[in-house]
Chain A
């Protein structure tokens, strides 16, 4: 009976997120436009400027578009994770997050369900992006499209957990703009999404270290290798570790006795 309750609640939360996603077409389009602009404009412009040497998982010289495709999938998931965190701040202000918190299930389960729901949406977006890239001849081996699924699930959960963690201590929507500037941009640019590590090392040792240990880099590498049917164990462990860390901190943040909610208080 209990398990049935958990299952129904999880399907309800995921179903709601998918329905919302289907009903908000502009959200779907805008989620795709951003990486597509990077792919078709930015990457095309930089194609000649950046030489990419052969490095795993690639077995031959590749175009810059091919290199940044996994990075842009990471970007989709990063934005999605932050956006669901934005929607949680918004939801909480509007009360529907409170609605969720009032239901008789453990809070860790509700937060995890919310996370799974957000990840499901980001996986759909990632596949839509891969489809468009495929039409433009940016094609990975067929098996890669299968292997990428577990990688996308883990990276989506990790980035979603980061968003969840941030949402637990952002009270106002206005603060979110700051998070975009202080989290999204540094995380994205200090990573292997746009340039390989050895390229970063050529210009700055510090940036190289930051980029290597950036969980987003690890998520991008996990996706990159999976897309070519390979497992990058280090990236897998690192991404999974970051997920556990962020999730534990987020659950603490939402704990009614200890977390940020008490300190933030509520107006009357």
Chain B
């Protein structure tokens, strides 16, 4: 059996007496884009903190391409690319300087790094702007640079934490299309936290999280069938009791 790119099993986590995640299990395979839906406070940020090993869970396990995040964290994290909710680029440095920094952290040499930077930026039509300071870029372009950065070391799993928040429609669409393209063409596995249901593609999977519990999971069509809902918005409203955008 091929190992899932991300496998979360019986994961529980609490901040003191407050339970943030309760027995969460799901997996994301190569070539799969899983959309993580949940209202504020559902446990999405906690889940991302645990996958990126900001802190460790005491119960349950997280495996990236078969490597346990806690026990084999280096092998696991080497296969992970992340775009955090807040921008994490250095505004005073140029696009290339930011990307070279990331490449260095992953042990990629200068020559190989420059080659990868070119490939990823060209794919996002950003190569001509590589010398510009990040401060000069608009929100959509910054996000593109962050996605390019997350892919520099050829990860197997890409984590996206609400990457399109605050962007205009064309920028959002460009990012949604680019990520789905990566999933289709390169077999990348993606876990995408969002509030924006129009970002869900027909082939995507859903993981609906509410109050730390997985309420539904599987291919969109399967979830619609199981819940008897007509679309993802209805699924979300019914399972979480919340409205959507």
Expressed in whole angstroms, the minimum distance between the Cβ of B63 and any Cβ of chain A is 15
Chain A residue numbers with a CB within 8 Å of B106 are 5, 9, 103-104
Asked if B186 CB lies within 8 Å of chain A CBs, one says no
Contact of B104 among A9, A106, A267 (CB under 8 A): A9
Q: Are B54 and A98 in contact (CB under 8 A)?
A: yes
Q: How far is the CA of A265 from the CA of B41 in the complex (A)?
A: 13
Residues of A with C-beta under 8 A to B46:
266, 268
Q: Cβ of A94 and Cβ of B86 under 8 Å apart? A: yes
Name the segment of A12-20, A36-44, A156-164, A177-185 touching the other chain.
A12-20
Chain B, residue nearest A11 (CB) = B104
Contact A16/B77 with A9-B105, A101-B53 known, Cβ cut-off 8 Å: no
Tell me whether B93 and A266 are in contact (CB under 8 A): no
| Interface members, chain B 202-229 (any A CB < 8 Å) | none
B97: interface (CB < 8 Å)? yes
Give the complex CA separation of A102 and B55 in angstroms. 11
Top-6 shortest CB links A-B: A12-B104, A5-B107, A265-B15, A103-B105, A104-B78, A95-B88
The answer to whether A105 and B40 touch across the interface, beta carbons within 8 angstroms, is no
- In Å, the complex CA distance between A101 and B45 comes to 16
CB of B84 within 8 Å of the partner chain: yes
For the A-B complex, the count of residue pairs with Cβ-Cβ distances under 8 Å equals 107
Task: Give the Cβ gap from B67 to chain A, nearest Cβ, in Å.
Answer: 10
Question: Chain B, 87-127, contact with A by CB distance < 8 Å: what is the 0/1 string?
Answer: 11110110001001111111111000000000000000000
> B88 touching A96 by the CB < 8 A rule?
yes
Q: Are A12 and B100 in contact (CB under 8 A)?
A: yes
Across-interface contacts of B102 in A (CB, < 8 A)? 99
Tell me if B44 is interfacial: C-beta within 8 Å of chain A.
yes
A102-B77, A105-B74 known; A16+B86 contact, CB < 8 A:
no
Of residues 1 through 54 on chain A, the ones whose CB sits less than 8 Å from some CB of chain B are 4-6, 8-9, 11-13, 15-16, 19-20, 23-24
Query: CA of A11 to CA of B77 in the docked complex: distance in angstroms?
Result: 20
Which chain B residues in 5-24 approach chain A with CB under 8 Å? 15-16, 20
* A268 and B100 within 8 A (CB): no
A268 engages B84 (CB within 8 Å):
no
Q: In the complex, which residues of chain B have a beta carbon less than 8 angstroms from the beta carbon of A203? A: none
What does the 1/0 interface line of B51-94 toward A look like (CB < 8 Å)?
A: 01111100000000000001001111110101011111110110
Which of B16, B41, B52, B100 meets A102, CB within 8 Å? Answer: B52
As a 0/1 sequence over residues 33 to 46 of chain B, the CB contacts with chain A under 8 angstroms (1 = contact) are 00000001111111
B54 touches A261 (CB 8 A): yes
- Mark each residue of chain A from 157 to 179: 1 if its CB lies under 8 Å from any CB of chain B, else 0: 00000000000000000000000
A16-B99 Cα distance, complex, nearest whole Å: 11
Given contacts A8-B108, A9-B104, contact A104 B52 (CB under 8 A): no
- Smallest Cβ distance from A66 to chain B, in angstroms? 37
Q: Tell me the smallest distance from the CB of A115 to a CB of chain B, in Å.
A: 16
